[in-house]
Structure 1
Amino acid sequence: MFSMPLLAIASDGARLEAWMMSSAEWEALKASYRTRGLTADCCGSAVVPVTSQTGWQFFCHKGADCPVRESPYHMIAKTVVARAAAALGLDVTTEARLNDGAAIADVLIRHPSWAVAVEVQLSRIPLIAIEDRQERYQTIGVRCAWLVGYDVPGHHPRQDLPLFRLVRPKTTDAVPHVIVTDADGHSGRTGLAGFTTMLLTGRINFQGPAMPASAPAVVSITSECWRCRRDIDLFTALINVPEHTIFAPRGVLSARDLTKIPQLMALYRSAIPKLLKAVPSLTTVRTPPPGKEAGGARAHCPWCDAPISLVKLPDDVFDSHRWGRCWTLSGDPWIPGPTAAR
């Protein structure tokens, strides 16, 4: 087994990630890599861009004995997870160094208000070792999901330890599957790309009962429409929702991410008439148009229907001390208490 990194550092400091480069970009790199001074981030030795017989892109060490050992299976799993997360409009980095290099995440997925690591663990290690690494991720504010290539007796995926069984394909160049339970209670195998999408959009059932939630409520901040200059209540978050490991870890769901949890989006859409009757100045949230999915859902002015991006809202608008006004989905005013958001 040898290292097959997806990340290389050029002599000018550029980070080159094999998984995200198009075929044309990859071929151009293969033609010019000798002048780029490519080195592996894992050990600093020289690497070259390589394409496997089945089309997978990765970097190969030039004869160096790298201490990192990863199989083609590991490389493919990281590539598939990274591409599926990027397709949701999230920022993705492979082999990401965290906490001054104390941790290296196989795939790090970033959102403006959170970060999630996905670890591919193929060699068998004690469960306590995984739990220890999970705690270290938590101490630096990063949630983590695990894909393990072996059975862990008696363990089922939990909110505090999302650990899933990765099923090895029959050939080393095929995409692995994951054993999951979807939102409808169906258990079975799904492709790794589909699993990643399910995990990041709230369609995974975890072991144990879900945490109870109070009546969901809409949160707004006072703002002004950029087009008509009228005062608006900008819908920023849906609170008191069932806790979701990725998008609503404290029961607070950003309005930008509302469309990524279909059940809550449907609940909100059914409540729009009551909300607008109670609060005519409240913006509405809609699914982004094709090609604009990376920016997440948009708010729309209730007066002139101008689209309003929710990407650049400051992080603290999701903290209770910044909440301007709140309404339940029935249109009733609601005052958050000290335990309103878990």
Structure 2
Amino acid sequence: MLAHAVDGAVYQAWAMSPAAWEDLKADYRERSLTAPCCGAPVVPVRSPTSWQFFRHRPNTGCDLRESVAHIVCKSIMARAAARLGLEVATEARADDGTWVADVLVRHPSWTVALEAQLSRIPLAAIEERQERYREAGIRGAWLVGYDIARLEARRDLPLFRLEVKRTGRFEPAVIGPATDGTPARTYLGPFAEALLTGRVRFEGPPPQASMPSVATVPSVCWKCRRDIDLAVALVNVPAHAMFAPHGVLPARDLGKLPGILAAYRDAIPALHGACGSLTPLRRPPPARLALGMRAHCPWCDVPISLQGLPETSLRPGRWLRCWTLAGEAWTPPEPRASRWTWSGSADLGGHRRAI
């Protein structure tokens, strides 16, 4: 996709008009074109379906060779970003070599790397490369040409299934959420525009739903009869095989995990500043310590036993509200698989937010 000339000029195959490409083919020898990956000579060529790219000369010892399908996908994504008036570079590299992006897109407010991953690699390899992008302040999005078993959509890893069919010419499409049981397909160009104009959205639990939080159920104080938010569990805490399987710690057992207890105590001002009806948790007198922590009415301070609560109170579907230890409220979502969704036409004017 990219070649350097002896005079310092840089040629990007995807961005050149057919006429300019023919001119380059006529005098590429005088320009001494080389590949940025290895410095070896390259030749400008055009595929039978009119895609432009640079080919290593025969017997060049370079391992970085790409399929025509990969070149097509990169060209389509680069052209989509260019149509939006964004700065685009293919095969962009970090100065320290920590990352190489198929297509790097720059906006004054953000930078995005678009990756067309057609050859199969482990998910861990994608996650590692995504982390390198994150450390560099780059948002990465992955168009993957194969199925990954048991993969769940994640907010921190925009990853989409790419299908590359050849019907006379390559027609890459992104497979979207199913409608009436049939997966939707969006051609790669329009999808890239949607991605870069903020119209691809993640549907899943709110970010707070993964933070350590206090889960509550609605109740009434047995003494003053006022409504309370009864703290029944701490959720999203480090899993403990005995006391907090799956990261859910019953409130009565809070005293058995000192680290979580300390974090809760530090959070008490934020929690009760955010929710005045939330019951604080305290240890009982020494004689009743074996019964575990007790809740206290926030209005009359009477102790409320947490023994004998139904097991259903420890299930997300029964919690009314949850509060992060920073005092942010969130509501347990309806059971539904997370997913990425998109629709509509490209907004060519704003470019306020990418993915």
CA deviation string 1:47-83 (max 9, x = no partner): 0110111110000111113211311110000000000
Is it true that 1:165 corresponds to 2:200 in the alignment?
Answer: no
- Equivalences for residues 171-186 of structure 1 within 5 A: 171=167, 173-181=169-177
Using the alignment, how far apart are the partners of 1:136 and 1:297 within structure 2? Answer: 28
**Counterpart for residue 94 of structure 1:** 90
- Work out which structure has the larger RCO, using CA pairs closer than 8 Å and 6 or more positions apart in sequence: 2
Q: Does 1:110 align with 2:103?
A: no
TM-superposed deviation, 1:98: 1.4
Match of 2:118 in 1: 122
2:30 to 31, 35, 42: 35
Q: How many residues align?
A: 215
Q: 5+ residue gaps in structure 2?
A: 209-341
Query: Does the CA contact (< 8 Å) of 1:11 and 1:36 recur in 2?
Result: yes
Q: What SS does the corresponding residue of 1:206 show, helix, strand or coil?
A: strand
Residue 153 of structure 1 aligns with which residue?
Answer: 149
Matched, 1:50 2:45: yes
Shift in Å at residue 210 of structure 1? 5.0
Instruction: Report percent identity of matched pairs.
Output: 55
Distance 1:208 1:43, change over 3 A: same
Tell me the C-alpha RMSD between the 2 structures: 2.8
Distance 1:168 1:19 in 2: 18
Distance (whole Å) between structure 1 residues aligned to residue 120 and residue 66 of structure 2: 13
Q: Determine helix, strand or coil for the equivalent of 2:63.
A: coil
The amino acid across from 1:109 in the alignment is V
Give the 3 Å change call, closer, same or farther, for CA 16–65 of structure 1 in structure 2.
Answer: same
TM-score (normalizing by structure 2): 0.56
Gaps of at least 5 residues in structure 1 are 1-5, 213-260, 264-286, 288-292, 299-309, 311-342
Per-residue deviation, 1:34: 1.1
- Aligned position for 2:62: 66
- Asked if the contact 1:7/1:95 (under 8 Å) is kept, the reply is yes
1:76–1:206 Cα change, 3 Å:
same
Counterpart of 2:10 (choices 6, 15, 22) is: 15
Deviates further, 190-199 or 166-175:
166-175
Equivalent residue number for residue 130 of structure 2: 134
Spell out, residue by residue over 1:248-300, the C-alpha distance to the aligned partner (whole angstroms, 9 max, x if none): xxxxxxxxxxxxx999xxxxxxxxxxxxxxxxxxxxxxx9xxxxx6xx559xx
Write the distance in 2 (CA, Å) between the matches of 1:131 and 1:52. Answer: 33
The correspondence for 2:196, drawn from 188, 197, 200, is 200
Aligned-partner Cα distance in 2 for 1:54–1:190: 21
Give the residue type in structure 1 aligned to 2:142: W
Does the alignment pair 1:80 with 2:60? no
**Are the aligned partners of 1:19 and 1:83 in contact in 2 as well (CA < 8 Å)?**
yes
- Aligned AA for 2:136? I
**Bigger CA radius of gyration:** 2
